[in-house]
Structure formats: structure tokens, C-alpha cells
Amino acid sequence: MRLKSIELNGFKSFSKKTVLEFTHPIVCIVGPNGSGKSNVVEAIRYVLGEQSMKSMRGKAGTDLIFKGSKQLPKGNRASVAIYFDNSDKIFKLTNDGGEDINLNYDTISIAREVYTDGLNKYILNGSEVRLKDINNLLASVNVGSSGHHIISQGEADRILNASPKDRKEMIEDALGLKIYQYKIKESERKLERTRENMKEVVLLRRENAPHLKFLERQVEKFEKAKKMSAELAILYREYLKKESIFLENEKSHLAKEKSKILNELKGIDAKISDIPDETSRTGNKKIEELREVEEKVNEIRNEKNEKGRQLGRIEGILEAKENKVKIAGRCPLCGNEIKEMHPEQIEKRQNEEKELQALKNSHTSILAEMKNLEAAEKKGVQSIETLKQAINKEMESLRDKEREKFAWKVKYQELSSNLELINIKEANVSKGEETFQNEVREGRALIGEEILSYKTFSAQDGSVPGGQVLINPEEQEELRKKIERIKIKLEDAGVGGGSEILKEFNEVSERDKFLTKEMEDLAESVKSLEKIMADLKEKVDVEFKEGIKKINIEFKEFFTLMFGGGSGSLSVIVENKKKKRDEAMEEEGEVPFEEDETTPEQGIDINVSLPHKKVKELQALSGGERSLTSIALLFAMSQVNPPPFLVLDETDAALDEANSRKYGDMLEKLSKHSQLVVVTHNRETMSRASMLYGVTIGFDSASKLLSVKFDEAVAIAK
């Protein structure tokens, strides 16, 4: 890495584009007072990112723009570009993520521009970048931002004037530890960001937690329900299978029973109808007949009595008549007498005889009639007897039939009742089937289509030879109760949309897992950042101490050389600095910390011991002595860790001739490791330069640059 050139354009007194090439180890810039030499040094400061306007002798960025003159218009921007040889690819730059940015350029150019509106730009190889990037980039090549390697005019003893803490910073910078400080700062920022992220993650997780917990519980419930469903499915399979078998058995059994009873009923019905109800009618006819016969017999008897009475009367008359005839009718001469008897009479007698004969005839006929009647009566009585017997017999047989019919009717009734019972049972089976279907429907709602698997389930238990399966109702009842219990539990669990919940749970828990992982990663990076920081701090600490030792060796040497004796050394001191009070906090009425709270702060003390003098305090040194001490220290620092270049603006101003020579010797020594850009009026210093630039300022108030020879330089410098 080498400083190649610098290009000023509109910067301060350099109104036009002016290029300084640094092709030699020692380049001197010479010129009269006010010609613009220091402006070149400031241009270098400026382009390297100087933030202090004061150190560039301005108030605002716009002060750096060429102000114009009578002859020349004012500029609208000031621009400086610096070029470094990077063929060894030493420049490094990382992005905010810590990754290397490709800087595979042979030349690194850094440009900085300021515009009349105050706008400031940093450009790295044509791309606009941030100041931070410039600082990091330069730190990688040991060009620190503290500017220890650029000594402005009148600032030769800057390090002496600086506070112990600022000195420490300058020395750290000179030792090239700034890059580590940047890294520590960067790590601190990262750590802070990481901790912020952690807080965010914690918040996010906390935010998620109740939802996750809820979902977890839901999923737990769901899993439980799933288990229960599985259990239910098993129970259902057995229960439904057995139930279906039971219903089937019951149905076929009842159907058989029913058809048997129906057959029996049919037979009984036939039997009952075979016994006619009209059997009594036959009996009735006979009774009618008997009544008729009895009537007839009565009639006959009445007639017989009548005939008897007639007969009695006739017999009485006949007796009376016969007696009369006997008397009159003692008829010794019977026929003769009648002829001899009175005619009237005779006539009368004849009449009487006639009458008697008639009576006798009647008697005979009545007797005959009586005989007939008696025969008829006998016949009638016989008939009555026969009829009565027949009727009795018929009645007897009728009663038997009735009894039989009654018995069948009773049987019929009994079977009808049985049939009724079977109908009721069948209705129950139907109801059972309905219940069964409802159960299947309910089951389907609970465990889905799996419910139908009961159909293929083989209920082995209780099977008897012949393939029939006997169902134990008690066991079925047990199963049913178990099923009911699980159903209730499932309903209580009330987990609908399980898959949705599971999906959401997976998402939320994935997110939580992600956040946990993120948290672990963040904790891991906190750890590694802390480790990195500790390592860096350790490294800085070690290298700082080492550096101080080395500087002290060089310092002593340069000091003795400059002063011809005596000694100079650096020592690390720890100051207990009072903590700065936070005024804003105080205004709020809060006391941020105790009045006497302090923080330890490391700093650097410079100890000198001049030859032949007792003076040890820096304040007591003369201007020249201060310059010599500063130069000795500065050169010692540069010797230990040579910066790529050193810019010295009239650092030699206070030196006498003898010391100027020593200064020149030291320049040559330093130039072996660092390029030197030296602004000087000193002839001795000029004589050590291998390249000289003369700066002049014309009547147009614009600085001009020209390459000059030593003699010209000496002339110009005056």
C-alpha cells in the first residue's frame, strides 16, 4: 500500500484541479507564507474524513470551497481525492453484517466533496459510501482517524497538550489498535442489537405463549379425544356387531315363533269351525216333535175320556132299558105276544127295541173306538219315550262338542296372546333396530366411516356350534355403558375442528420453536460477541502494553538523540473520573448516581527528564523543548508501528540548526517505513526530500503548484 497522489479541486485556495504525486519517500512542500501549503495538509485531513472544522480552520464545510477573487469566480464545490496503490490488496472493508466487501482494486480512491448547500459526500472508487466506511477502510491500513500521523502547523506538541485519555487514544491509533476498537464498538453495537432482538423475541414469545398454551390444551384434548375415539371405535365394533347379531337372532326367532303360532291358530280355527254352532237345532226339532207327540197323546187321552164317559152313559141307559124290557119285557110268548099285544104298543115295543139296538151298536163302536184310541195312546207314549231318549243323547253329544270347542277357543286365546306378545317383541326389535341405526349414526358423527367396520368384525365370543353367536345381554349392557361413558367424555371434551386446531397449533408452535431457536441463536451470538469483545479487549490490552513498551524503547532513543541525553517515557495511569452528570435527568428530578461516583479511566502520562535540568513537568518546557519531546514521541510511535504515510506541517519550525539536522536524520530513518509529506521552510529538511513541490499564490488568489529543484525550493520558500 502506498500513497500515490492527491487531487484538489476547488478546495480552499486551490481553485483549479491540482494534483500532487507522491512518488518519493520524502516529499517536501515549500512556498511562501500564505501560499496554500497548509491547505494541502488540510486537504489530506479532509479527504480522510476529518470532522473537526476547527482543525481545517473553518466554521462550516462551505468554508472549504474556493471563495473566488476579483479574477476568479467562486466555486460551487470543494473536492479532494486521494489515491492509494492497492496492488498488495491490503485495504479491507466489511459491511454491517461483518462480511468482507470486495475491494479488488489496484488503486483505491477516496474522494470527499462538499457543496455550497453544505452537502457532504464520500466516494470510494466511484461509489458513494458513509464516513464510517471510510474510517473502517483506513483503519485497515493503519491510517487512524485520530490524525496522529498528520501533524498540522503549530500542532507539533499536540500530543503533549492532549489529556491522558486522548493521548491513550492517539497511541492506540498509532499502534494500529483502532481497528480493534472499531471491531469492539461494532461488536458492542451488534450486542446491543442482539439484546434488542432478544427482548423482541422474548416479547413475541410472551405474546404467543397464551395462544400456544391454549392451542396446546386444545391439542391435548384433541389427542385425548382421538384416543377415546379409537377406544370407542373398538368398543363400537364389538357392540354393534353383537347388537346386530342379537337383533338378527331375535328377529328370526320371533319370525319362526310367529309362523308356528299362526299355523297352530289356523289349525285351531279350522277345528273350531268344524264344530258347528247349529248342533242345537237338531235337538230343537226333536223337542218340537216331542211337544207335538205329547200334545197328540193328550188329545188322545181327552178323546178317550170322552169316549169313556159316552160309554158309561150308554151302558147306564142300556142297563135301564134292559131292565125295563125284562119286566115288560118278560116275554114268554115273545113274538106271538108282540103280535097279540096292542099295536101301540107293539109299535112302542118295537121302537124301544130299535132304540136299544142302536145303543148297543153305539156301545160297540165306541168300544172299538176306545180300543183304537188306547192303541194310539200307547204308540204316542212310546214315541215320547224314544224322543226323550234321543233328545237326551243329542244334548249329551252337544255338550261334549261345546266343551271341546271351548277348549280350542281357550287354546286359541292363549296362542293369540302369545302372538300378541310376539308382535310386541317384534315391535321391540324394530325399535331396537331403530336405536341401532341411531347408534350407528351417532357413532359415525363421532368416529366417522370407521363405524361401519363393525360389519366385518367377527364376534367370536359366545359362538356355538352351527355358527350361531349367542349374545350375552349383560356383557352387551356393560359394553353399552362403556360406550355411553366415552361418548359423554367426548362430548364434554367438545373438540370440534381438530384438524384446524392441529394446523394452527403446528404453525404457532413452529413459530415458537423458531423463536426459541432464534433465541438460542441470539444467546449464542451474544456469547460469541462477548467472547469476541473479551478477546479483542484482551488483544488490545496486551498489544497496547506491548506497544507502550516498544514505544518507550524508541522514545528513549529519539529523546536522547534530540536532547543529547536525558530520558522520556510513557506510563499508563488510571484516573478515577467523576461520572458526568446527566443534566436532562437532573432536570427531571432524578439523581442518576451518587455525587462522588467515579469510573476508572486509563490514560497516558509523559515523563521527561532533560539532561542537566531538574525540570520534569511538561508545562515547564520551552517551546523548542516541547517540539523536540513531541517529535521524539511522534517518531517513536511511528517507528514502532509505521503508518503508511506521515504528514508534517512545519513540525520543524521551532528547531535550531543542530536539532534540524537531527530532525532530518530522523525523517530519513522514518521514511524507510512511511512515506513522508513534509511542509517546511527549513532548508535542512528540504535537503532531505527526494521530491519538492513549490506552492505559490498569484494575484488571482489561487494557489499554484510546481515541481521544483532543491535550489528553486530554497528560493521559493523564502
Q: Which parts of this chain interact with ligand ATP (CB under 6 A)?
A: 12-13, 31, 33-39, 63, 65-67, 153, 701
Give the shortest CB-653-to-ligand ATP separation in angstroms.
9
Of 115 and 457, CB closest to ligand ATP: 115
Distance (Å) of CA 143 to CA 158, 172, 390, 459: 18, 12, 160, 92
Which SS3 state, helix, strand or coil, does residue 143 take?
coil
Of 38 and 660, CB closest to ligand ATP: 38
Cα distance between residue 85 and residue 531, in whole Å: 35
Of 111 and 702, CB closest to ligand ATP: 702
Helix segments in 119-177, DSSP class H: 131-139, 158-161, 164-174
Give the shortest CB-661-to-ligand ATP separation in angstroms.
22
Q: What does the block give as the cell for 405?
A: 270347542
Strand 120-124 to 127-129 pairing: antiparallel
- Asked if residue 109 lies in contact with residue 83, where contact means CB atoms within 8 angstroms, the answer is yes
Could you identify the residue written with the cell 517546511?
Answer: 680
Of 41 and 490, CB closest to ligand ATP: 41
Give the shortest CB-645-to-ligand ATP separation in angstroms.
19
Question: Which of these, 98, 89, 108, lies nearest to 4 by C-alpha position?
Answer: 108
- Asked if residue 694 lies in contact with residue 708, where contact means CB atoms within 8 angstroms, the answer is yes
Amino acid of residue 236:
Y
Which SS3 state, helix, strand or coil, does residue 105 take?
coil
Give the shortest CB-58-to-ligand ATP separation in angstroms.
7
Of 2 and 67, CB closest to ligand ATP: 67
Give the shortest CB-69-to-ligand ATP separation in angstroms.
7
Give the shortest CB-683-to-ligand ATP separation in angstroms.
15
Strand 675-679 to 26-30 pairing: parallel
Distance (Å) of CA 404 to CA 251, 265, 280, 390, 397: 35, 15, 15, 21, 11
Cα distance between residue 78 and residue 43, in whole Å: 10
Give the shortest CB-109-to-ligand ATP separation in angstroms.
23
Give the shortest CB-628-to-ligand ATP separation in angstroms.
21
Of 63 and 402, CB closest to ligand ATP: 63
Which SS3 state, helix, strand or coil, does residue 449 take?
helix
Of 3 and 716, CB closest to ligand ATP: 716
Of 16 and 193, CB closest to ligand ATP: 16
User: Cβ contacts of residue 543 below 8 Å, gap of 6+?
Assistant: 175, 177, 180
Of 65 and 610, CB closest to ligand ATP: 65
* DSSP-assigned letter for residue 589: T
Give the shortest CB-161-to-ligand ATP separation in angstroms.
20
Phi, psi of 155 (to 5 degrees): -110, 20
Q: What does the block give as the cell for 589?
A: 428530578
* DSSP-assigned letter for residue 65: B
User: Cβ contacts of residue 206 below 8 Å, gap of 6+?
Assistant: none
Give the shortest CB-711-to-ligand ATP separation in angstroms.
19
Of 66 and 563, CB closest to ligand ATP: 66
Of 155 and 433, CB closest to ligand ATP: 155
466: exposed, middle or buried (Cβ count in 10 Å: 0-12, 13-18, 19+): exposed
Of 529 and 678, CB closest to ligand ATP: 678
Of 31 and 603, CB closest to ligand ATP: 31
- Asked if residue 42 lies in contact with residue 13, where contact means CB atoms within 8 angstroms, the answer is no
Cα distance between residue 583 and residue 415, in whole Å: 114
Could you identify the residue written with the cell 193328550?
Answer: 298
Give the shortest CB-511-to-ligand ATP separation in angstroms.
60
Provide the 10 A C-beta neighbour count for residue 170: 22
Provide the 10 A C-beta neighbour count for residue 240: 23
Question: Which of these, 319, 311, 290, lies nearest to 374 by C-alpha position?
Answer: 311
Of 475 and 712, CB closest to ligand ATP: 712
Of 35 and 244, CB closest to ligand ATP: 35
Cα distance between residue 66 and residue 5, in whole Å: 21
Give the shortest CB-605-to-ligand ATP separation in angstroms.
32
Question: Which of these, 692, 634, 693, 631, lies nearest to 662 by C-alpha position?
Answer: 631
Q: Which residue is nearest to ligand ATP (CB)?
A: 33
Give the shortest CB-119-to-ligand ATP separation in angstroms.
17
Question: Which of these, 81, 80, 49, lies nearest to 65 by C-alpha position?
Answer: 80
End-to-end Cα, the chain, rounded Å: 35
- Helices and strands (H and E) in the chain: how many: 15, 14
Give the shortest CB-630-to-ligand ATP separation in angstroms.
18
Give the shortest CB-35-to-ligand ATP separation in angstroms.
4
Question: Which of these, 136, 184, 198, 180, lies nearest to 525 by C-alpha position?
Answer: 198
Q: What does the block give as the cell for 139?
A: 483503519
Q: What does the block give as the cell for 324?
A: 125295563
Provide the 10 A C-beta neighbour count for residue 310: 15
Give the shortest CB-520-to-ligand ATP separation in angstroms.
57
Give the shortest CB-587-to-ligand ATP separation in angstroms.
41
Of 153 and 362, CB closest to ligand ATP: 153
Spell out the SS3 assignment of 270-285: HHHHHCCCCHHHHHHH
Cα distance between residue 633 and residue 647, in whole Å: 15
* DSSP-assigned letter for residue 605: E
Give the shortest CB-74-to-ligand ATP separation in angstroms.
8
Of 30 and 495, CB closest to ligand ATP: 30
Of 63 and 250, CB closest to ligand ATP: 63
